[in-house]
Structure 1
């Protein structure tokens, strides 16, 4: 059985919805088990509640970075923060030094999806800069190929690029992922799962 982990951080629920779509796509592949988890919140609870952070997400929190080595493929989701991943995701990944030392993630399949407030708010740079960490771990990078023609749409505002699925939240954060964006997320999950299955001999 090929094991896929969808690991994300979501402050207001946009990436959470994308993560669930990614997991749905991965589960469509026979012989694949897909699990969804999230990284720990680093904002103190009282402050988080005051700014409207969505704390009641159903995905379990991954407390131990060593668990990453248990999966054949990992699909990471993070909102954009000034063209980079969130501090919460960065904090989690910065704890993977022992995994790096022993090469625990070498050869595993990886992929990234994201969100930003605006169409040009750093979606691509967030994914590309995320790749640096994955390459240091020796992971295999998978994006969103143009066989996913959904990213070619020009009749509506939509995220998505060859680097990965994405969504646009709007300046006030009120826009949730569109059907097209969620379909791209499903495609990415399915695509990564298929590659991880071949890579793991499944």
Structure 2
């Protein structure tokens, strides 16, 4: 942990991309949980790299996309410096055919210089997602993010089946908390399918990451 400050609160960066609000709602819950746990917290959104909807022919989806963009406009945009600053990094992305959404993938690519100088080594990382259906690529999206963490030399801390909340009917993914957003995005009803159990599970996942990261920080300090 070459740049980690072993004194003070654990630093948590929740970095996410959200198209129609589901991942935004989950990310906000994670940031709130981190703050309640006493962590120094940054909630950061990854912006679109286009100025218009990618699917204007889907009118309701486009309206929901625009509504979500307005709802998120005051959330600071993510920078690679947020990754360098953090002890704990929690990435969130909707699933796109079992893969990371393109805006978040682009942001990850920007972190290549930081990775090249080993600036992400030994940071605690985990991820979460939301997909249109229960079998819409949740595990694939989480594992795609984990593949990034492997390259970065991170310490991956999944939620596992380590708390009862993981066994709630709308939860159950041990790799990273996942919600089912539904196949249709309806304006005025954003993120209504993100359940309270999803939010509670992500709060647990965040606290678990902080607990592990705090122990590691003290362990690394003692080793020095």
Q: Is the 8 A contact 1:28 1:190 kept in 2?
A: no
- Indicate the residue corresponding to 1:181 in structure 2: 198
In the alignment, what sits opposite 2:23? 15
Unaligned runs of 5+ in 2: 1-8, 57-61, 187-191
2:53 maps to 47
Runs of 5+ in structure 1 lacking a partner? none
Q: Is the radius of gyration larger for structure 1 or structure 2?
A: 2
Deviation at residue 99 of structure 1 after TM alignment: 0.8
Residues 87, 178 of structure 1: alpha-carbon distance in 2 compared, 3 angstrom cutoff: same
1:108 pairs with 108, 123, 135, which one? 123
Give the TM-score of the pair, scaled to structure 2: 0.82
Q: Please tell me whether the aligned partners of residues 13 and 82 of structure 2 are also in contact (alpha carbons under 8 angstroms).
A: no
Q: Does 1:145 align with 2:160?
A: yes
Matched residues, number: 196
Name the SS of the counterpart of 1:118 in structure 2. coil
Confirm whether residue 38 of structure 1 aligns to residue 45 of structure 2: yes
Distance 1:173 1:43, change over 3 A: same
Aligned twin of 2:3: none
Instruction: Show the counterpart of 2:104.
Output: 89
Q: Does 1:133 align with 2:140?
A: no
Of the three residues 2, 11, 19, the one matched with 1:3 is 11
Seen in structure 2, the aligned counterparts of structure 1 residues 48 and 101 have a Cα distance that, compared at 3 Å, is same
- Report runs of 4+ in structure 1 exceeding 4 Å deviation: none
1:59 corresponds to which residue?
A: 75
| CA offsets 1:13-66 (integer angstroms, 9 cap, x no match) | 100010011112222323x2121001121122x43695232212032112x313
Q: 1:166 aligns with which of 166, 169, 178?
A: 178
Kindly indicate whether the alpha-carbon contact (under 8 Å) linking 2:17 and 2:93 is maintained by their aligned counterparts in 1.
Answer: yes
Quick one: distance in 1 between partners of 2:118 and 2:172? 31
Question: SS where residue 130 of structure 2 aligns?
Answer: strand
* Superposition RMSD in Å: 1.8
Q: Is the 8 A contact 1:26 1:189 kept in 2?
A: yes
TM-score (norm. length: structure 1): 0.90
